[in-house]
Structure 1
């Protein structure tokens, strides 16, 4: 007897028999398409936040830790798939209304924005780990507060001159203070970028310095011949190995120069 190939279509008799069986069971073909195998329940916030906290960078953890703690206090016992977008928005408004007031406060907008960002980070990992589908991510459906225009302004030339004057005539190491100010003025580098500068990062031929800044960013920055000369002079007067911090006190220590 010839065996029917498995790739061939079922006969009409087979289809009729299958439809009859489904009809007797009270099941429609649509029910079979919509039914998906049930997965394990999503973890609670108390279970999952420590997992994500260990997976992110130290900088991300520092920014989001206080907001994850707030989520733990409010929803620690709940599963990730329980809160809806409205509840997230309500929590953001609660954080916004109860933010600690400071001189540079802007109505709690930043706190609400960071809370939503912290939840987006949490749910991004939850989607990647298969705890819920991207379409079920409630944090993506909550808009962040609109940012107000920045209040930061450049330091006026007269004020900058006063700062340099004070640095040059006071303090326990005016030479180092003035060099730091000149470096920041010319390059606008972050504090961490200045303190990570090494003798090996100087290119006197092209008047360039290599800056290692936030987030692992590395860039070559042009500087004036005057600044380059003073940086080289600093290395000569306060010797440092090529791959150690360039900026240091007269005794060679850099203990109190570590970035925040």
Structure 2
């Protein structure tokens, strides 16, 4: 590919990214189409990388690598105050067609700071009631054992037995008729909560805010290393901070210690930990 052709290809990718950015559906939480443009450029890089691998072009002729992705803006998500978390749980427990399921979802995400994908991938065989651990499978094909309180473990087991997951296997979280839930349950849950709590609708609160809430609570009281492990973030060797985390990695018993303090329940992996009565994210 000649230099002029390469420059034209670069311009075409930039123009396409701007077009995609301008045509996105405008939602209340939209951020100017940045994500759409970023995904478009990532897709173009993938296509041209395959062309390089197949020796159709050289790496120096790859126009996609010369197109910068839009700079990501800081997230508007943040941790909820304790009063806000209580309001959310109160509405979930008193409205809707399945409060038992909804309150279980909220407690699961609040205790573990897991993502929606991790909760939806949870199976009955992923429960270790003896040590109060659950196996989470999340993005990037990562897996981790996460401590949960004895109360949450009991409710997860009851849910699995009552709704068929214990007998049939497969996804643990289910509707009353035994159908596995999907992300739509989360969407309906937060829409309903927003109808009762206007601030939830206005700020576009979602399940991921619970992750922020828990991790902020853990970091403030137990430090960065434990909050990082609690989040399930994998080690990175890029940069000084990433290298340092190799030496300050928290252990599972330290995560259990933070959980015990947060929930006010002792945990099998941290049996001698004094709990903070009235704790909570």
TM-score, with structure 1 as normaliser = 0.61
Map 1:134-149 → 2, pairs under 5 A: 134-149=59-74
Inter-CA distance 248–94: structure 2 relative to 1 (3 Å threshold):
closer
Instruction: Give the superposed CA RMSD.
Output: 2.5
Secondary structure at 1:145 match in 2: coil
Whether 2:171 is the aligned partner of 1:245: answer yes
CA distance in 1, matches of 2:13, 2:158: 56
Aligned residues between the structures: 180
Inter-CA distance 128–189: structure 2 relative to 1 (3 Å threshold):
same
Q: Deviations over 1:18-52 (max 9, x none)?
A: xxxxxxxxxxxxxxxxxxxxxxx9xxxxxxxxxxx
CA distance in 2, matches of 1:97, 1:123: 24
Offset at residue 81 of structure 1 (A): 6.8
CA contact (8 A) 2:7 2:63 kept: no
Offset at residue 123 of structure 1 (A): 0.6
Specify which of 131, 149, 154 is matched with residue 79 of structure 2.
154
CA distance in 2, matches of 1:139, 1:110: 17
Specify which of 95, 99, 108 is matched with residue 183 of structure 1.
108
Q: Deviations over 1:180-239 (max 9, x none)?
A: 110011112222321221111011222110012234332211111221122123234344
Offset at residue 111 of structure 1 (A): 2.4
CA distance in 1, matches of 2:18, 2:171: 45
CA distance in 2, matches of 1:111, 1:131: 28
Offset at residue 149 of structure 1 (A): 1.2
Secondary structure at 1:205 match in 2: coil
Larger deviation, residues 82-91 vs 116-125: 82-91
Secondary structure at 1:149 match in 2: coil
Offset at residue 242 of structure 1 (A): 6.8
Question: Segments of 4+ in structure 1 off by > 6 A?
Answer: none
Q: Which has the higher contact order (CA 8 A, sep 6+)?
A: 2
Offset at residue 179 of structure 1 (A): 0.9
Match of 2:13 in 1: 88
CA contact (8 A) 1:199 1:235 kept: yes
CA distance in 2, matches of 1:111, 1:233: 42
CA contact (8 A) 1:212 1:219 kept: yes
Larger deviation, residues 190-199 vs 80-89: 80-89
CA contact (8 A) 1:81 1:132 kept: no
Match of 1:76 in 2: none
Map 1:3-82 → 2, pairs under 5 A: none
Whether 2:182 is the aligned partner of 1:258: answer yes
CA distance in 2, matches of 1:105, 1:116: 19
Secondary structure at 1:219 match in 2: strand
Q: Rg: which structure is higher?
A: 1
Inter-CA distance 156–143: structure 2 relative to 1 (3 Å threshold):
same
CA distance in 1, matches of 2:36, 2:176: 42
Match of 2:98 in 1: 173
CA distance in 2, matches of 1:97, 1:171: 37
Match of 2:156 in 1: 231
Q: Deviations over 1:50-83 (max 9, x none)?
A: xxxxxxxxxxxxxxxxxxxxxxxxxxxxxx9794
CA contact (8 A) 2:126 2:135 kept: yes
Secondary structure at 1:206 match in 2: coil
